[in-house]
A and B are shown apart, each in its own frame.
Chain A
Amino acid sequence: MKTDFWKRFSKNKMALAGSCVVIMLFVISLLAPWIAPYDPNEIDLQKVLSAPSRDHVLGTDQLGRDVFTRMIWGSRISLKVGFVATGIAILIGTVLGAVAGYYGRWVDAVIMRFVDIMLCFPTFFLILAVIALLEPSIWNIMIIIGVTGWMGITRLVRADFTSLKERDFVLAARAIGASDLRIIFVHILPNAMASVLVAATLGVAGAILTESALSFLGIGVQPPTPSWGNILTAGKDNIDIAWWLSLYPGMAILITVLGYNLLGEGIRDSLDPRLR
């Protein structure tokens, strides 16, 4: 099973391209202090909004800071938000989905109605409303994106659990006296992890997109902390004079999200070729 997966995965060009992007991003954000040519917060008022040149490959922003450097540091934010937010969503989604699918009946009905209710809210509205009440710090952003993004995962896990709990191995586990908790987490959950893994990879991409949109609107990661979204805000403010502020950070977001999406689809296709 596992060797099959790797065989299919390594033949899937899209998946490999996606993994390359993701690995590269990890390396860049890990090595940010060493590979960035400047200090991300070094203000140089002599070089405000200067176009890309040899000294500043991607130009400078409205305070003369090096855009390339700030983008490298910005990759750390994307990575952090992507993983923490998705982690929270996975945790909530998996637990609720598992409980709903395993116990069925009224427990299932209550949880799934709650999912329906949450899905009535435009996610972006819900996030903004909570931000209006709390401070827009990076931790709050991660938590809010996670807490408003678990519904799809709940549905997936629930669907897996409702079919898996009828299998013989669950009956066997129950026959030897395993507790519900043990059956849910030790016996059934590992079998449902495949779809969770795919959803998680795609979820990271979604979280990065949401964070960048929030930061772009000025209610996400706050300056001076560099994030791709808030560099784009400067791009919008200087739209008629500094195109480089608008072009490059968006490209970074696009490539990152594309990378995670390709990886997620690649994992899905390699796990179960029938799903294609």
Chain B
Amino acid sequence: MIRYIVKRLIFMVPLLIGITIVCFVVMHLAPGSPTDLETQMNPRASAEYRERLKAMYDLDKPLHEQYLIWVKKLAVLDLGRSFSPDRRPVSEKIMERLPITISLNVLSLILILIIAIPIGVLSAVYQDSLFDKVTGIFVFIGFAMPTFWLALLLMILFGVNLGWLPISGIRSLNYEYLPPGMAIVDLIRHLILPVTLAAFGGLAGLSRYMRSNMLEVIRQDYIMTARAKGLSERVVIYRHALRNALLPVITILGLSIPGLIGGSVIFETIFAIPGMGQLFYMSVMARDYPVVMGVLFIGAILTLLGNLIADVSYAVADPRIRVS
């Protein structure tokens, strides 16, 4: 097992280097240097100040040296300072928002699993039944649904017309004064819409995937063996088939992480949730390059970590992977 993990980690090294190179290249796409922008916005910046800035960002050195200096800073999570007036370190800004984004994504992943797996299993077991057909149509619509639009519609329905759910932020204004029990209810009420919508995108894909997996497993010889020795259909489906059909889902969950993280930009912006996605959106609008690059880098690292966790859990669940 440890050998497998080490192998995975070694495999990640070139990816990690590649990620830093892509980030570095994207950063240098900017017309003019980042210091240009900062100084143009500030008419009082003298030529000397500009030189100092340039030296601070090492823009006077050749490209490969700039890259090495930048990577060395990255290694200790020094992502520079924000261009915004607060001038705080980028890593600090990201770290204080990361927990919100990660918990939202974990919640929606859980929701996806709870809903998609039963749907997939049932529509495979009762293939071509009415249930299978209806969910099939829903899946198709789910693939085509612009989720930000669905968000708008649900906000109009539940927030504006019915007034049941709040449509922005994660806390009410009087949050501080609520008793602990009410505070949790308040938080949950704020999270219902964003978590449901973030999950929506993954639902269609996973339930379809689960269905085709299950259909494949049901046709295997060992299922026939289980039936032949007289096991009840329940045991055959839920003990023998389901376990094997569930395995590859781990990989799919790993693959869905970049989509979820990317989607957080949309949901956190729509629902005014103070997470990493919203920070990213605001920095893009304000052209706060150090933050934009920082979030881009952290987003890729999160994906890489997610894939690693998925790979390792797959190996834990399925010994065949470890050996090959």
Contact = CB atoms under 8 A, between A and B. Distances in A.
Contact of A257 (B144, B156, B293): B144
A44 interface: no
Q: Give the size range of B's interface with the partner.
A: 35 or more
Interface string A204-219: 0100010011001111
A129 B293 contact: yes
Given A113-B15, A117-B18, A246-B149, A124 B296 contact: no
A56 interface: no
A123 B263 CA distance: 9
B29 A134 contact: yes
A125 B18 contact: no
B19 A121 contact: yes
B287 to A, nearest CB: 6
Contacts of B146: 209, 212-213, 250, 253-254, 257
Nearest to A217: B269
A119 B283 CA distance: 23
Nearest to B141: A258
Interface stretch (A29-37, A182-190, A236-244): A236-244
Nearest to B34: A133
B284 A129 contact: yes
Nearest to A255: B144
Contacts of A126: 26, 296
A136 to B, nearest CB: 10
B142 to A, nearest CB: 10
B15 A232 contact: no
B15 A125 contact: no
Interface in A83-119: 113-114, 116-119
Nearest to B152: A246
B281 interface: yes
B266 A114 contact: no
A120 B19 contact: yes
Interface residues of A, number: 44
A122 B258 contact: yes
Contact of B303 (A120, A132, A243): A120
Contacts of A178: none
B155 to A, nearest CB: 6
Interface of B: 14-15, 18-19, 22, 26, 29-31, 140-141, 143-146, 148-150, 152-153, 155-156, 159-160, 167, 258-259, 261-263, 265-266, 269-270, 280-281, 283-285, 287, 289, 292-293, 295-296, 299-300, 303-304, 307
19 contacts: A113-B15, A117-B18, A117-B22, A119-B258, A120-B19, A122-B303, A125-B265, A125-B280, A130-B26, A131-B284, A133-B289, A134-B31, A213-B148, A219-B284, A239-B155, A239-B167, A240-B160, A254-B141, A254-B145
Given A125-B265, A133-B31, 8 more contacts: A116-B15, A123-B262, A129-B292, A209-B144, A216-B148, A218-B285, A236-B152, A239-B159
Interface of A: 113-114, 116-126, 128-134, 205, 209, 212-213, 216-219, 232, 235-236, 239-240, 243, 246-247, 249-250, 253-254, 257-258, 261-262
